[in-house]
Amino acid sequence: MRSLLLSAFAITLLSACGQFVDPLDYEPGTLSPGGTDGVVRTDVKSLKHTLFADLIERFTQKSADGGFVVIDYDALAGDVDAQFQLQGYLAMLGSVDASGLESKSEKLAYFINAYNAGVIKGVLDMWNGDQGFKTVEAAGFFSEPRYTIGGLQLSLNHIEHGPGRADFVARAADFTNMTDAARTKLEGWATEIWGSENPDSRVHAAFNCGALSCPNLPGAAPFVFDAKTLDAQLDAFTTAWVDNVKKGAGPDGISMLFSWYKTDFERTHGSPKAFIEAFRSGGTSDVAFDKSLDYDWTLNSTKNMPSSGQ
């Protein structure tokens, strides 16, 4: 049954020679940390992330006004096939070297989706059905290298602050648990994505840390970040984030992300204020730029869905 499920929702990989291959049609128990056989492929040019998209479509819900997208962790935890599907998706990412992907958008989408899938897997591994679970309070949730991505054993911090933000200086402490070779590889991925450019501060609207105050997961098709539409998605998700008065910007203040990562917004837009002004669809006359919203680390689960959205 699981083999058929994975075949139905398989992620199609396009190899350098133009052939489509499906590495996920295998039985439970055969997944190695680096993929189906521990081999890291460098010939994969494009990913569709179909397995992860299917999970997000089936196990997320929106609040009535769309202000919150949350996960039905109870249902996901009770569905063995779905958990195997998530494991298969992460194993696929473990077996594909991002260096082979054909574009900056392919590489960036790979790491954003890897982070978001890793957060969900981490919650399932650690929450024990506790709706009071908070990712920020769970020991090593973001800092322990629990995920094999591109053949490297990485933490969520490695993914976000490495290829995601290319911040190897201010966040140097996050990389001290890596070998020199692994760090060099991680820095190489960051360089392949950003080159000499300032990393795109819109990525902050794409990473979901498993809390209600985090920018939302994709709650509509394609349900993942897709290389073909990534630029438009980042624009749309950024606007949705700063339009959201509970998560992004409004009369009660602006997200703590603008304080924690202030330099990112300064490098791309001059200031957090200018960034918000560039993307907020309704203007900023109602925004209290001198205040910060309390960051709600409550688990983004259906049972914790705020009763009144925004």
Q: What does the pLDDT look like over 206-225, one tens digit per residue?
A: 999 999 999 999 999 999 99
Q: Both tokens of residue 243? A: 């339009």
- Using CA atoms, how far apart are residues 244 and 251, in angstroms rounded to an integer? 11
Pairing of strands 60-62, 44-46: unpaired
- By mean pLDDT, which of 39-43, 65-69, 237-241, 259-263 is the weakest? 39-43
- Using CA atoms, how far apart are residues 91 and 149, in angstroms rounded to an integer? 8
pTM of the model: 0.90
Q: What is the pLDDT of residues 140-185, one digit of tens each?
A: 999 999 999 999 999 999 999 999 999 999 999 999 999 999 999 9
The answer to whether the CB of 142 falls within 8 A of the CB of 156 is yes
- Using CA atoms, how far apart are residues 67 and 17, in angstroms rounded to an integer? 43
Average pLDDT over residues 74-83: 97
Q: Encode burial over 75-114: b for 16+ CB neighbours within 10 A, e otherwise.
A: ebbebeebbbbbbbbbbbbbbbbbebbeebbbbbbbbbbb
- The residue ranges of every structural domain in the chain are 2-304
